Amino acid sequence: MESADSDLFDTTDVERSASEFAVDPAALTERLADHQAAVEELPGVENIVYEWRKQYEDPLIERTAEVYYLRVPATVWDEYGDALGVSDAMLGALVDVHRRTVSTASAVSPTPPDGVAYVALDRTL
């Protein structure tokens, strides 16, 4: 899978999450790009957001011309972790970067409710 080139994630957030979960920041940056590329390849950002809006109650937090900010069941990340073949620590760091990104960009709590996770998807790729 070819990595997507995105400026969605703040370097400081990536470094903090990498440190908190004891993973390499460069590897985390690569996995963030891999995740964005995987969404774009199948089924596509617009299509996955459409499906989530049909499947889950009120997943869209905010939408800009560049990014979707979403709340989804935490199990969505389990599926991405499996698809990306990442360790538990790397998956935790991925989820944490998305949490930081969504909570910084929108008016949601920095801590999602139990069973919920945040996802930021780049619309420009």
**pLDDT per residue as tens digits for the range 48-86:** 999 999 999 999 999 999 999 999 999 999 999 999 999
* DSSP assignment string, 63-109: E-SSEEEEEEETHHHHHHHHHHT--HHHHHHHHHHHHHHHHHHSSS-
The mean per-residue pLDDT over the stretch 105-114 comes to 95
CA angle in degrees (0–180, nearest 5) for 35-40-42 = 95
Calpha distance 79→117 (Å, rounded) = 13
Calpha distance 25→106 (Å, rounded) = 24
The predicted pLDDT at position 7 comes to: 85
DSSP annotation of 42 reads T
